[in-house]
Structure 1
Amino acid sequence: MRFSLKAMVTLRLLRCCITCALAAFTLAACVGADYKNQPPAPQIPSEQAQIERILQGLSLEQKVGQMTMLAAYIFFDTDANGQPVLNAAKLDKALNQYHVGTFINSPANLYSTSQWQRWIDTLNQANSSHQIPVLIGTDSMHGASFVKDAVLLPQNISLAAIRDTQAAQIAASITAKETAAAGILWNFGPVLDVGRHPLWPRLEETFGEDPYLVSQYGATMIQVFEAMGMASTMKHFIGYSVPLDGKDRAPAYLPDVQLWQDHIPPFKAAIAAGASTAMVNSASINGMPTHANAALLQGVLREQLGYRGLIVSDWADINYLHTRHKVAPSKKHAVEMAVNAGIDMSMVATEFSFPELLVALVKEGRISERRIDDSVRRILALKIKLGLFNQLMPAHWVQQQSSAATLRAEKAAHKQHALALANKSMTLLKNDKRTLPLPAGAKVLLAGPAAKSLHALNGSWSFSWQGDDDSLYPSETQTLHQALQQHLGAGNVIHQGEADFYAPANVDVASVKRFAPKVDYIVLALGEGAYAEQMGSIDDLTLAKDQLQLAQAAIATGKPVIALFTMGRPRIIAPIVDGLAAILYAYRPGSQGAQAIAQTLLGLNNPAGVLPFSYPQYTGNLLTYDHPISAAIRQRPKSSAGMDGYAPQWPFGFGLSYTDFAISNLSVSGEDGLAQSEFKAGDTLTVSVQVKNTGQHAGEKVIELYIKDHFASLTPANKRLKRFTRIALAAGEQRTVAFTLTVDDFAFVNGALALTAEPGVFTVEAGGLTTDVVLLE
């Protein structure tokens, strides 16, 4: 594996940007200049000719090997001391008998940068059957999450709460930098699934429930990854995030209108942003597993959306067509279905059945070799694009370019940015009588399972797949208990719990009753431990019973109770909301999350995050904010019905601050600057509001713009997000926020699956203020 000149240039630029930036979003302008204004990468002469020349020299078996991805750990045995030992014979078999061209992850869960580099060198040196370099892919989901001592960033759901795509730029640039330093140039991210089912255990990996929000964040990340010489992956195409029962990999049932309105837009934006690869939904839509769905992979993704990049399976999902979905009577039939549907590369990932069966299928005439060639061309094009054929080895490049002092400085800067992102994501949901921020010298009782848990702060894909092993985190990573002690003093923080999230001592009601008289406040660290994928599937969205009982006991003491939630999805807490004095939702804030929470509690950070999903109040009311108007039916007493059935605990976009803001003077104007209430196709509208910080503290405010159609040929949505911004205001400062709209912003997907704007009346909402405009014929 080698770095291209493009990657070397952009990494040097990124180093300059990061080392000059501090904790605030000062990196944003520098990163923006990096990915927007850098010189184009030098073109390899006759790239297509190079691909054809390589392709002509490959046997069928070698071609199929390029379509195969295997997990690195299968090539390692365990010695008497429990340490992994390379099985050279098995690796030689993979590389030189099966000609495997791509590998996923490291031999162990957590490799250091230098270990990753040595592993990649080992693969390339052992690859003697042809001159095609191997490609390594990994899941760097919130930072370089499989590189030892990497800086773990807030999860995507946290970034979406910030409502500023500069956050996505910063997160992507740090992720790319620390991942590429290990020699890994293919990242299986970002997740573009629209998180519209709160039970779904991968909600924390998404950017929330709104397709526009997901599109903006996802496209931004992809632009940064690709400009830095890293292949991005738009995943999981498509409909993965809305399983009927909320379980991971469970079937979804999606009408075409809903598919195109809610789920296609992020992938369309990702293609425009230059996504190199696409990963496929592991589940099924309307009874057809996506890995076998040619109508979606060929008809929609390639033909209608114009995608030309590589399509890769998810883990073992071709085999699952036979073993789980039962649409293929054998593994061989499963391979036939998937490849003919459009899969270019199989993440097998632990055995050799895919290349064996695919070779046999071609020889039997059930899959054409021309079809194989199409996939191999895409794979070769990706390897050429990443510069794998023509530069220094990553290990050598890193050793030559980065001194130990430089690397330490970069890591310190990354931590500062991780802290800034976590601070900006903090979402204050309740603050009765201005309980927060806590006064200096406050004495608190800290209780709850997340008080000493690192994995509750970080969630999935955190130094392991599940992320739940606290021993893997760097020793300097703080728990919430440690961070509060740092700020309040050890003598002012009483805590009787344990590091194990699930330890009974963490929800001990008796200790809360015993220590409550000795403190001014009770701080409860509640939420979820880490989980990933199927392991996080649940039957009840309600917060764990023992945590609710702990909160109720704390409330009964009469002390002000502050609840902090570190969790990847909105667990229902309705039974305790009224009794809590303050509620802070921290999502999955990452490695600097404990410090961010402590700073927010003490007023060193003024929270300004807003919810990227609707926070449900009841298990039977899981509507998204943009539900069809007719979906909000609610039964009333005496058998009457009302239309106020959207009744979340807190709505999409909700979030409080320690200061106050006044929003006024909503106006809509045309291109001439004059007030305008009617418009037609081709017109541009400017919507503006004045925002004033009327409080005593500096703060930031998210302003969102929504559009609601009054009548349409299909039942219109309650409203839809069209723009958002985040501004900082000093106490007493006022600013005008303006958004530009065109007729396309008033469009929806109609019954013919066409994006159309129908004439009529629309409500424009900005900052909570509304006015009506009319689209003319």
Structure 2
Amino acid sequence: MSGYEPIDGASVPSRMNSWPLKALATTVLVGLGVTLVNQPYQTVVSSIDKLEATSLASDATANPIDAILANMTVEEKVAQMVQVAIFSVLDGANPDPRVALNKTRVRQYAKLGVGSFFGMNMGAVWTPEEWKALISDIETIYAEESAIPMIYGIDTTHGAGFVHGATLFPQPLAGASSFNLDLIYRMGEIEAKDSLAVGLPWIFSPILGLAMQPKWSRNYETFGEDPYLASQMGASVIRGIQAKNDVAACMKHFIGYSNPTAGNDRSDSVINDYELVNYYAPPFLAAVKEGEVWTAMETYTSVNGEPVLASKKLLSDLIRNDMGFDGLLVTDADEVNRLIDEHHIANDEKDALYMVFNQTSLDMNMILTVETLDNANGANLGVLADLVKGKEGHANAIKTTVELVNEGLLTEDRLDESVRRILQLKYDLGLFNKSKTAYVPPTPIGSPEDQRDAKAMADESIILLKNEPVTISGDAKPKQVLPIEDAGASIFLTGPLADSKAYLCGGWSLFWQGTDNSSMFKHGVSIRDGLSKSFANVDFATGVDVNGKAVEDRATVLAKAAKSEYTIVVIGEHGYAEKTGDIDNLDLAEGQLDYVRQLTALNSTKVILVIVSGRTRLLNGVTKDAAAVLLSFLPCEQGGEAFADVISGRVNPSAKLPLTYPKNSGNTHLPYYHRVNTACRDEFAECEMEWKFGSGLSYTTFEYGQVTLSQENVTSSGSVTVSVPVTNTGARAGKEAVLLFISQKVRHKYVPETKLLKKFQKISLKPQETVIVNFTLTAADWSYYAPQVGQGFRAVSEPGVFHVQIKHDTDCAKDNNLCKDFQVVA
């Protein structure tokens, strides 16, 4: 390491010095007669219990965190900056944490002052009681050995997914399909409540990357491809998670992770600065400014060949300086070691840690184990042994970081910046308050009330993409095939996902990779069970498995379909998460597609195609002959009943696609707002897609009236109100997401997008009811950010003509009452 010097300008002053309003208490220590300076920090911390109940004083300036810091050793500070995997303190494969917890190792961690634990049991799902016992045991040991409490963090994508019996919502991409911010907020509230009820105050959620690469295995964890939609959804779920100031959300993965060049998880992303600040950054900026998110997680990947974890540009200039984020920033799992083994920019752990702490504002290093475990009483490390195999030399994060400080290669001031943010988070969450009463959730984990909220989201996550008129027996004239209102209709249900609750949920559901075992899910029903409750004559055969292999005799299965009035075939994917979900081909399993073709070739049955998937798999023409198509991006436990209610007509579908659904392999990496018009084969027409962003039908009809503007000429400091009347002209009550897009006729510096979503509002209308939907546009809506990093976000409002477009499929090139122009004047 000789020859290394700290990098000038790399460290970022902490904004926590301002003692933010989100703190649990602002105190006047002098008024209490408490002297904190030069006391052992254990004494300092014990004083905090008294401060929690102190009356607030608006002019108070003292911050007990500073006093704690002043009495910590370098070793204690470095240990606070480490987060270690829970499976490193579990012995063997015993599923009960009360038995498996190695308290000797936990005590070693506590004596070191390790700041945090993360993760779940890789081989079993724990009950609420088991989680509470585990957390209680760890907290008890920490109280005996360390003055500073630990904080536990866990991945939570769609409910407290690793707490057995907790309410599981649809995956985020399904939630985004609802265009309903209230449902997303409620999901955040419930997953926070259920997590805190078992002692988990830190949630690694939400993912704010954009679903730009259809092959990517984590698309279902995103809120779709659109920056504005992802921004609004992300800020809403964060507000829900942090509503009570007792659970911290974590925006992730900062930044660019969701656009891997080849579509494979953790591969490099290529993103220019215009796209970085205008597409990828806005959801994170909204999380900071609107959601007031408390923590952030960086990403596994590199952007333009530079690993994000070692990037001053991204992890200091962009996130701290430009966005103003002042919360805790944590790595993803084992990321420092990836600088050595995967990115190959560091020789060893010392080299990697030097880069990370001198070049970025990273606060906490998420690792698998630390050096004290190398000879931990001969304990069986179980799954940990496989995860750290070949990386034994990288398990000295604490010792190595201390060496950097002792050798003058890392300043203690830099440690203080990070430790202050870590301690601040723990204080804000009340973890120092030993007299705090145990949290009692307002509703039990998995309560019927919570299940109703998950069901409401599942209802609004199902997208009706096709609904053809057909001749129904007993009816004089054709009508749309859905809904099926005859409870006695003969239905043949088939397909690999028709009888599986597990496949409706996907990854991060009970287990990291999900599970095939539907019996483990405590709530909800499969599509088969849901339909069987709604209809009297439901016949069933699997037909093919999820890999496309025939399960029953094909002739027998087709005969069942042929004699049924309706055939409902449910196709899609099995569960997966992260790297294990990589695929070489975006096509859905050919055996599944062939099976659908054979069913649609039958003339005697009306085929309803149901797609349940975590990403947009290519369908290769099978939708053409289906009478109806329904799609949901993993509605989870309540999905079976939700599909049954939509098919039977008890629920009127209202979801819309939150991304573009490609039709062929040539147009699979092209969001609807692409900037280059010649990107399509026909330069004068839109690229051919299976379905466009915003597609989604209803069982009723909505008529949009003439769009009007409050003014047609506006300055950059002014605003324009856009109004459009919407009428439910059908016979059913229904919900409609009203979408407003803006496009720029001419932009003089950078090629304008084809259009961009700037506002949306979901409305509910009774039959024949009309509402006028109003949107207010300001310069923030028609401007773009100058492609610069480290100088703040600079919005550019160019004078010129802008198009307002209502609805996703409106053609403003034609005379259309859903389009209107306004002009920005200098």
TM-score by length of 2: 0.84
1: CA distance, partners of 2:334 / 2:70: 29
Deviations 1:420-469 (A, max 9, x none): 11101111000111111113212111111101222221112111111124
Residues of 1 paired with 2:95 and 2:623: CA distance? 51
What does the per-residue CA deviation read over 1:531-569, in whole Å, with 9 as the maximum and x for residues that have no partner?
111111112111111110110110111221111111111
1:280 is matched by which residue type in structure 2?
E
Distance of aligned partners of 1:342 and 1:690 in 2 relative to their CA distance in 1, 3 Å threshold: same
Distance 2:55 2:186 in 1: 22
Q: CA deviation at 1:752?
A: 6.0
Q: What is the CA deviation profile of residues 177-224 of structure 1, one whole-angstrom value per residue up to 9, with x for unaligned ones?
A: 111111111000111112122111111111110111111111112222
Q: Unmatched 5+ residue regions in structure 2?
A: 1-21, 26-53, 372-394, 470-479, 811-817
Matched residue, 2:797: 757
Encode CA deviations 1:288-322: one digit per residue, 9 max, x unaligned.
11011112111111112111111100011111010
For residue 695 of structure 1, report the CA deviation from its aligned partner: 1.4
What does residue 343 of structure 1 align with?
A: 362
Determine the structure 2 residue equivalent to 1:26.
Answer: none
Match of 1:470 in 2: 517
Match of 1:152 among 138, 152, 168: 168
Question: Which residue of structure 1 aligns with residue 379 of structure 2?
Answer: none
**Match 1:270 to one of 287, 290, 314:** 287
Larger Rg: 2
Inter-CA distance 752–270: structure 2 relative to 1 (3 Å threshold): closer
1:407 is displaced (CA, Å) by 2.7
Alignment partners' CA distance in 2, 1:264 and 1:549? 41
Counterpart CA distance in 1 for 2:55 and 2:630 is 45
**How many angstroms apart in 2 are the aligned matches of 1:522 and 1:615?**
24
- Which residue in the other structure is 1:291 paired with? 309
Contact kept in structure 2, 1:426 and 1:597, CA below 8 Å: yes
Aligned to 1:772: 821
- Describe the superposition over 1:366-400 as per-residue Cα deviations: whole angstroms up to 9, x where unpaired: 21222112111110000000000115467x443xx
Matched, 1:711 2:728: no
Deviation, structure 1 residue 476: 4.4
Residues 469-618 of structure 1 mapped to structure 2, 5 A cutoff = 469-470=516-517, 473-489=520-536, 492-497=537-542, 501-502=546-547, 504-506=549-551, 509-558=554-603, 559-618=605-664
CA distance change for structure 1 residues 392 and 448 in 2, over 3 Å: closer, same or farther?
farther
Amino acid at match of 1:112: T
SS of the aligned residue for 2:256 comes to coil
Is 1:453–1:499's contact at 8 Å kept on the other side of the alignment? no
Q: Which amino acid aligns with 2:212?
A: R
Identity %: 35
Counterpart check, 1:202 vs 2:218: yes
**Letter in structure 2 aligned against 1:552:** R
Deviations 1:252-273 (A, max 9, x none): 0111011001011111111112
Structure 1, unpaired ranges of 5+: 1-5, 10-39, 636-641, 670-675
User: In 1, Cα distance between the equivalents of 2:435 and 2:608?
Assistant: 54
Moved more, 242-251 or 352-361: 352-361
Q: Decide whether the 8 Å contact of 1:512 with 1:554 is kept in 2.
A: no
Q: Is the 8 A contact 2:543 2:554 kept in 1?
A: no
Q: Distance in 2 between matches of 1:563 and 1:497?
A: 14
- Please state how far the C-alpha of 1:645 moved relative to its aligned partner: 4.2
**Deviation (angstroms), 1:324:** 0.7
Distance 1:80 1:413 in 2: 33
Partner of 2:344: 326
Judged with a 3 Å threshold, the aligned counterparts in structure 2 of structure 1 residues 368 and 613 are, in CA distance, closer, same or farther, namely same
Instruction: Select the residue among 159, 183, 194 that pairs with 2:199.
Output: 183
Could you tell me how far 1:776 is from its partner in structure 2? 1.5
Aligned match of 1:686 in 721, 737, 746? Answer: 721
Moved more, 261-270 or 44-53: 44-53
Q: Output the CA distance in 2 between the equivalents of 1:42 and 1:552.
A: 69
Aligned amino acid, residue 105 of structure 1: G
Which residue is 2:145 aligned to?
129
Q: 1:70 to 1:235 in 2, by over 3 A?
A: same
Change (3 A) 1:203 1:57: same
Letter of the 2:83 counterpart:
M
In the TM superposition, 1:267-416 aligns within 5 A as 267-272=284-289, 273-340=291-358, 341-352=360-371, 353=395, 354-392=397-435, 396-398=438-440, 407=444, 411-416=447-452
Corresponding letter in the other structure for 1:624: P
Give distance in 2, aligned partners of 1:512 and 1:49.
71
* 1:682 counterpart letter in structure 2: S
Give the match's secondary structure for 2:672: coil
Q: Deviations over 1:128-171 (max 9, x none)?
A: 33210110111121011111100100111111111121121111
Structure 1 residue 482, shift from structure 2 partner: 1.1
Shift of residue 239 of structure 1?
0.6
Q: Would you say 1:627 and 2:674 are equivalent positions? A: yes
SS at match of 1:425: coil
Q: 1:171 to 1:81 in 2, by over 3 A?
A: closer
How far, CA to CA, are the matches of 1:141 and 1:685 in structure 2? 37
| Structure 1 residue aligned with 2:689 | 648
Query: Does structure 1 conserve the Cα–Cα contact (< 8 Å) formed by 2:189 and 2:243?
Result: no
Take 2:174 and 2:56, find their aligned partners in 1: how far apart are those partners? 37
Change (3 A) 1:730 1:465: same
2:504 equivalent among 457, 460, 468: 457
Amino acid in structure 1 at the alignment position of 2:529 = Q
Q: Tell which deviates more after alignment, 718-727 or 221-230.
A: 221-230
Task: Supply the distance in 1 between the matched residues of 2:527 and 2:504 (Cα, whole angstroms).
Answer: 9
Assess if the C-alpha contact under 8 Å between 1:613 and 1:624 holds in 2. yes
Alpha-carbon distance between aligned partners in 2 of 1:602 and 1:267, rounded to the nearest angstrom: 40
Partner of 1:665: 706
Paired residues of 1:496 and 1:511 also in contact (CA < 8 A): no
Equivalent residue for 1:57? 71
Letter matched to residue 449 of structure 1: P
Q: CA deviation at 1:633?
A: 3.6
Q: Give the Cα–Cα distance (whole angstroms) in 2 for the partners of residues 449 and 537 of structure 1.
A: 20
Pairing 1:223–2:266 present: no
SS of aligned partner of 1:178: helix
Aligned partners of 1:148 and 1:581: how far apart in 2?
39
Q: What is the deviation of 1:80?
A: 8.3
Q: Say if 1:79 and 1:208 are closer, same or farther in 2 by CA, change over 3 A.
A: closer
Map 1:111-130; keep pairs closer than 5 Å: 111-127=126-142, 128-130=144-146
The offset of 1:227, in angstroms, is: 2.6
Determine if contact 2:256/2:269 at 8 Å carries over to the other structure. Answer: yes
Letter in structure 1 aligned against 2:271 = L
1:85 and 1:516, CA in 2 relative to 1: closer, same or farther beyond 3 A? same
CA distance 1:164–1:537, change in 2 (3 Å): same
The secondary structure found in structure 1 opposite 2:355 is helix
- Change in 2 beyond 3 A, CA 1:700/1:393: same
AA aligned to 2:153 is: G
Q: What SS does the corresponding residue of 1:77 show, helix, strand or coil?
A: coil
The 8 Å contact of residues 240 and 282 in structure 1, kept in 2 or not, is answered as yes
1:443 aligned to 490, 512, 532, which one? 490
Deviations 1:567-617 (A, max 9, x none): 111111132111111100121112111100111011111101000001111
Task: Give the Cα–Cα distance (whole angstroms) in 1 for the partners of residues 624 and 114 of structure 2.
Answer: 58
Residue number among 90, 102, 120 corresponding to 2:116 in the alignment? 102
Is contact 1:466-1:532 (8 Å) kept? yes
Q: Is 1:259 the counterpart of 2:276 in the alignment? A: yes
SS of equivalent residue, structure 2 residue 706: strand
1:363 alignment partner AA: N
Q: How far did residue 505 of structure 1 move?
A: 4.4
Q: Are the structure 2 counterparts of residues 173 and 511 from structure 1 closer, same or farther at C-alpha, using a change threshold of 3 Å? A: farther
Taking a change above 3 Å as real, the CA distance of residues 82 and 387 of structure 1, as seen in their structure-2 partners, is closer
Cα distance change on mapping 1:61 and 1:631 into 2, 3 Å? farther
